[in-house]
Chains A and B, each alone.
Chain A
Amino acid sequence: MNVGVIVFPGSNCDHDCRHVFQDVLGQSVQMIWHKETSLTGIDAVILPGGFSYGDYLRTGAIARFSPVMRAVKAFAKDGGAVIGICNGFQILLEAGLLPGAMLRNKSLHFICKDVYVKVENAATAFTEACESGQVLKIPVAHADGNYYTDPVTLAAMQANAQIVLRYCTPEGKVTPEANPNGSLDNIAGIINPEGNVLGMMPHPERCAEDILGNKDGKLIFLSLLKAMKVKV
C-alpha cells in the first residue's frame, strides 16, 4: 500500500506516522508537502498531528486552505481512506470532511497522557481488526480536543454509528471521569457517513511497538490494511 502523509508547516507527527507505516508495517510512504495539488498513486491519506500554522487563529483553520486539501477532499469524495489524527482531525473538521468543531479542553491545559477508548463500532475500515466494545489504551496530547456539535448532528451520528471511539475507564465504562477533555458524548473518534474518513484525537502511532510498552494503536492501522486487503 502507498500511504500519503500530508506535511503542513507545523505538522510534527508526520515522521511518527511515516515510521509506523514504513518501519513497523512495511508499507511504502510518501511525504506530501501541503503545496502539492495531486494525490496520484496514493492509496490512503494520513493527516498527522502537530500544530499546523502554529494553531494560530484556530486549530486547523488555516491548514484547510492549503492547496493539498482540495486534492484530499476529492480523494475522500472518491471513497479514498483518510485518517486525521489530533491536529489532522481538527483540520478535517475545519475542512468540512467531518462534522463538528473542537473547543479548548475543559481544563484549559494541554493534556498528554494515556487514555482508554472503547471501540463502539468495529465494522469500519479503521477498526475492523478490533473486537466490538474492545478497550484500547492510546495516549492523547492536545489542548483542543473537546469535541462539540449540535444536537441534531449528534443524534444523526449516533444513529449512523459514526461515533467509533469513546473515552472510557480501563474497564470500558463511558463515564464523565474517563473523559479527559470535556468532549461531547465522550467522543474520541468519528467517521463520516460514508465510512471512509476517520478523525481521532488519540495518537495510535505512539503505541504500535513493543519497545514503547503498548501496541494497542497498531490495531487502527492493521484495520486499515485489512480493509485495503494488504497482507502484513
Chain B
Amino acid sequence: MSLVITKELIAQHNLTDDEFKKIVEILGREPNLTELGMFSVMWSEHCSYKSSRVHLKKLPTTGPRVIQGPGENAGVVDIGDGLCVVFKMESHNHPSFIEPYQGAATGVGGILRDVFTMGARPIALLDSLRFGGLDTAKNRHIVKGVVAGIAGYGNCMGVPTVGGEVVFNDIYSLNPLVNAFCLGIAQKDKIFLGTAAGVGNPVIYFGSKTGRDGIHGATMASDSFDDQSEKKRPTVQVGDPFQEKLLLEACLELMAGDLLVGIQDMGAAGLTSSSCEMASRAGNGIDLDLTHVPRREPGMTPYELMLSESQERMLMVAKAGKEEECIRICKKWDLDVAVVGKVTGSGILRVLDQGKVVAEIPAKSLADDGPRYERPFSPPGYQDMLTNLNYDALPDVKDANAALLALLESPTIASKRWVYEQYDHMVRTNTMVRPGSDAAVVRIKGTNKAVAMTVDCNSRYCLLNPYEGARLAVAEAARNLACSGAEPIGLTDCLNFGNPERPDIMWQFVMAIEGMKDACEHFKIPIVSGNVSFYNETNGLSIYPTPMLGMVGLIESADKTMTQWFREDGDDIILLGATREDLGGSEYLKVQHSREQGSPPYLNLETEQAVQSCVLQLIRSGLVQSAHDCSDGGFAVALAECCMSGPDQTHGAVVRLTPGRQRIDSMLFGESQSRILVSAKPAQRQAILDQAQQMGVPAGVVGAVGGASLVIYVGDERSTTKTIDLPVATIADRWGFSLERRLSQE
C-alpha cells in the first residue's frame, strides 16, 4: 500500500517544510508513512534537542571523576573504591498534566530504566514537582495523582524516594512539572553503553509486549497545550512497575554474565530511538524484523510498532552465540523476549515486516542529523517592569509573628511530610538522612562513604533574571550538599521552559545556560547528564523558566554526615555569612505583598564558595551539631525549620538580630545568599569563629537553642522587644500540617 505524503500529513507530524525537504534529501526519495513517523519522533524537540543543542554545548561536562558525560542514557561519576554513581534527571511534564497518576508513574519508570540500563542498581529517587495553587480542585487532583503515581511506581520497584522538592505557583496550574531524578551504583569497570557494535551480533527485544499506547508521546511533549490538550490522553503511556522490577533484575543478571555488547531502554520514540541510536553510536546499521516483536494485540502496523511508547521494554545487542543464555535469563524473570534483528555494517536501520522492507533509513541521519536551530532570542519587553520594584512603597513588617506563620503555612515552605510519607524512603536500608533536611544522604554499603543528593531551582529568581537565577540554583544545590557534609561531584539538569520559537523564551533559556555554565565552572562541578523540556506553555502562557538541577555530593566518611535540625538545648546558634537587603523575588514578598518582582538576591561566587568550604570544614572537624542554609523565607524560616524539623523532638530558640539601617522584614525574611545557620556546643564557639575568620567568612553567635518558643529580638542588646515570639508547638503545627489541611478540602 502506498500512501501519498500530503502537506497535512507532514504538519500532523509536527515537521516543517524544510525538515521534510531534508528528509527527502537524505533518502533520495519521499519517505513512506512509517519512515515519516520515525523521522517525526526522532527529530522532535524532545528527542533531537534541535533548539537547545547549540547552547548545551557550552556547559562544562568533564572533570577528573567523570567517567561518562552527556549523550548516553545517564551520566557516570567515579566515587572511588572501584565504584561509580550513575544518575540523571528527566521530565514527564506533559503526560502528568493530561493523566497525573500514569504520567508521573511512567516518568519514574523511565528514569529508573535510564540508570539500570547502564549496569547500575538504582538506590535512590528524588522528585522535583511544580504545581498550581491548592485552592482549586483541579490542582489538588493533579497533586494527589502525581504523588500517588510516583509512590505507586517507586515503592513497588523497591527504590527509595529519599528526597525532592515541591513548589506551588499558579503559573504551573496548566503546566505542572514532574522531574524525576534517579541515582544508581555500579562497578566502575562494569558500565554498559547503548551501542550496537559487532556486525552480525543479535539484537534482542525483551520486557513487556508492544501495544498501541504512547504513540507520538515524544511529539506530544514537543508541542504547546491548548484547551483540547486533555484529549491527548491516549498518548500517555501506562506503567507496570511489577514488570519493570522484573526487567531490572533480569538486566542486572544479564549484565553479570559476559553476554552483552550494548543495551538501551525503549523510552521516548520506543523501538525507533533505541535501534537507531545504538546503531549510530557504533557507526553500524541494524536489520530489524518486526515479525518477531512481541505484541499486545494483533493487526499492529509497522508505523505503530516503531512509534509505540509502551513501557518496560529494552533492546540489547548480545554477543553472537549468547542468545540462548540471554533468553533463558529473561524467561526466568517471566519476560517476553525475542531475537528481532542483527547488527549490520551498512549504517542503515532497515525495518522488515513479514519479509518486506517497510523502512530503510541511515541510522545516523535519524539519530544525529536532525535539524539544529539557532533560534533568535531577545529579552521580553516586560523584563524591566519585573525587576524594577520601589521598596519604599512597601511598608516594613508590622506583625512579624503573623508574617512568619503565613510563610510557614505557605505550601511552598510548609512541611512536605504529606508527600514523602507516601513514598517508601527507607527500602534498601541505606537512607541515613531522610526527606526533610537540606539534602538526602544514603550510605554506600561495603564502603565508609555516603552520597548526598539534592534537587533545586528557584524559578521565580529565574523569571526575574534567568542568568542570576541559574547561578543561584547551582549555588543553592551545592550549599545544600555542603550543609550535609558532602562535596559536590556532579550535576544533572532538567531544563523546563516555554516555547523556544518565542525569542523571549529562548532568551530565558540562553541566559540560564550561561548562568549554569559560569557557576558550574567556578565550583568545578561537571554536568554529566540532562534533559530539556520545552513547550511548557498552555494557551500562550508559559511557565517560569525552571532549570532544575539535581546535584550529587560525596561524603568520604559517612559518620561525618550532618542534618539541619537543632540537637541540644544550650547549644550556640551561629550564623555564617552576611545578611543584605535582599527582598527581591522572595517568598515573603509573594505571600505578604502578592508581588513576584524585584531583582533576585545578590550572589558572589567567591563568597559562596568560602561559606561552603567553611561549613564543610566545621562538619568534618566535628565542631557543629547541625547546619542549615537560609533559602525560601530567609533567616526566620530557616531558624524555625532548625527548631521543628527534627525527627524526634522540637527545640525552642532565642535569637537577637541587630539591624543597623536595614529593613526588619529583609533581616527576617529576605533571602540573602551564602548564609548557613549552624548550632554547636558553647565549648566549640571560639574554634568555630576562629575557623570562619581564617576562611574570610563573617560569623557571629546570634543566640542559643532552648525553651519552648521561637523568640527573635530585633535591636541592640538593650532592646527588649520580641519581634517574633511563638510557641514551637504552634509553628510546628502550622508548618507541619498545612499541606494536609489544604489538600483535604473538598
Residues of chain B in range 131-185 having any CB-CB distance to chain A below 8 Å: 148, 151-152, 155-158
The answer to whether the Cβ of B426 comes within 8 Å of any Cβ in the partner chain is yes
- CA–CA, A111 to B418, complex, Å? 9
> Are A212 and B242 neighbours in the complex by a CB distance under 8 Å?
no
Is A211 on the interface with B (CB-CB < 8 A)? yes
Residues of B within 8 A of A79 (CB): none
Asked if A110 and B151 sit within 8 Å, CB to CB, the answer is yes
* Set of chain B residues within 8 Å of A13, measured between Cβ atoms: 158, 427
A206 touches B155 (CB 8 A): no
Contact of B422 among A51, A55, A109, A209 (CB under 8 A): A109
B424 touches A110 (CB 8 A): yes
Interface size on B, residues (CB 8 A): 32
Question: B152 — nearest CB in chain A belongs to which residue?
Answer: A110
Contact A112 B242 (CB under 8 A): no
Interface contact B445-A141, CB-CB below 8 Å: no
Given the known inter-chain contacts A10-B245, A112-B425, please indicate yes or no for A51 contacting B431, CB distance below 8 A.
Answer: no
Q: Are A141 and B426 in contact (CB under 8 A)?
A: yes
Cβ 8 A contact of A112, one of B158, B241, B334, B423 = B423
Q: Kindly report which residue of chain A lies nearest to residue B450, judged by CB atoms.
A: A211
Residue among A9, A16, A141 making CB contact with B155, cutoff 8 Å = A141
B158 x A50 contact (CB < 8 A) = yes
Compute how far the CA of A153 lies from the CA of B275 in the bound complex, rounded to whole angstroms: 58
A205 contacts across to B, CB distance below 8 A = 429
A56 / chain B contacts, CB cutoff of 8 Å? 242
A148 within 8 A of partner (CB): no
Do residues B155 and A51 form an inter-chain contact, with CB atoms below 8 A?
Answer: yes
Interface string of A49-64 (1 = CB under 8 A from B): 1110111100000000
Interface presence of B428 (CB below 8 A)? yes
Given contacts A13-B427, A50-B158, A212 and B432 within 8 Å (CB-CB): yes
Q: In the bound complex, what is the Cα–Cα distance between A205 and B430 (angstroms)?
A: 11
Closest to A55 in B: B156
Question: Taking the complex as formed, is B246 at the interface, i.e. its CB lies under 8 A from any CB of chain A?
Answer: yes
The answer on a CB contact under 8 Å between B426 and A203 is: yes
In the assembly, what is the distance between CA of A210 and CA of B90, in Å? 34
Q: Is the CB of B421 within 8 A of A113?
A: yes
Contact of B428 among A15, A111, A114 (CB under 8 A): A15
Q: Across the interface, do B245 and A12 meet the contact criterion of CB distance under 8 Å?
A: yes
A19 at interface, CB cutoff 8 A: yes
If A10-B245, A53-B242, A54-B156 touch, whether A111 touches B432 (CB-CB below 8 Å) is no
Instruction: Mark interface residues in B408-441 (1 if CB within 8 Å of A CB, else 0).
Output: 0000000000001111111111011000000000
Does B647 interact with chain A (Cβ within 8 Å)? yes
The docked-state distance in angstroms from the alpha carbon of A230 to that of B219 is 62
Q: Mark A213-226, 1 if CB is under 8 A from B, else 0.
A: 10000000000000
**Is the beta-carbon distance between A51 and B242 smaller than 8 angstroms?**
yes
Q: Known contacts A12-B158, A54-B240, A211-B558: does B245 contact A206 (CB below 8 Å)? A: no
Convert A1-29 into 0s and 1s, putting 1 for each residue whose CB lies closer than 8 angstroms to a CB of B: 00000000110110110011001000000
Query: Is A12's CB under 8 angstroms from B427's CB?
Result: yes
Check B422–A19 contact: CB distance below 8 A.
no
With A50-B158, A110-B151 given, is the CB distance from A9 to B333 under 8 Å? yes
Convert A197-208 into 0s and 1s, putting 1 for each residue whose CB lies closer than 8 angstroms to a CB of B.
000000101100
Chain A residues near B152 (CB, 8 Å)? 110
Q: How far is the CA of A54 from the CA of B240 in the complex (A)?
A: 8
A84 at the interface (CB under 8 A from B): no
Within 8 A of A (CB), among B435-459: 443, 445
Q: A50-B158, A55-B156, A141-B424 are in contact. Are A9 and B429 (CB under 8 A)?
A: no
**Centre residue among B241, B245, B431 by max chain A CB count within 10 A:** B245
Instruction: Flag whether A139 is at the interface (Cβ < 8 A).
Output: yes
Q: Which residues of A contact B155 (CB under 8 A)?
A: 51, 110, 112, 141, 143
Alpha-carbon distance A15/B245, docked complex (angstroms)? 14
Contact A16 B245 (CB under 8 A): no
Query: How far is B432's CA from A36's CA once the two chains are assembled, in angstroms?
Result: 35
Residues from chain B with Cβ under 8 Å of A53 in the complex: 242
Q: B residues within 8 A CB of A16? A: 427-429
A10 touches B445 (CB 8 A): no
B516 CB to closest chain A CB (Å) equals 33
Residues of B within 8 A of A9 (CB): 242, 245-246, 333-334
Contacts of A206 in B (CB 8 A): 426-427, 429
**A212 contacts which chain B residues (CB < 8 A)?**
429, 431-432
Kindly identify which residue among A10, A112, A113, A211 contacts B156, using a CB–CB cutoff of 8 Å: A10
Q: How far is the CB of B251 from chain A (nearest CB, A)?
A: 14
A141 and B427 contact, Cβ closer than 8 Å, known pairs A9-B333, A50-B158: yes
Enumerate chain A interface residues (CB-CB to B < 8 A). 9-10, 12-13, 15-16, 19-20, 23, 49-51, 53-56, 109-114, 139, 141, 143, 203, 205-206, 209, 211-213
Q: Offer 5 A-B interface pairs, CB within 8 angstroms, sorted by A.
A: A10-B156, A19-B429, A23-B445, A110-B151, A209-B429
Q: Give the top 6 A-B pairs by smallest Cβ distance, nearest first.
A: A12-B158, A54-B242, A51-B156, A141-B424, A16-B429, A112-B424
Given contacts A53-B242, A54-B242, A212-B431, 11 further A-B contacts (CB under 8 A): A9-B242, A10-B156, A16-B427, A20-B429, A51-B155, A54-B240, A111-B421, A112-B425, A141-B426, A203-B426, A206-B429
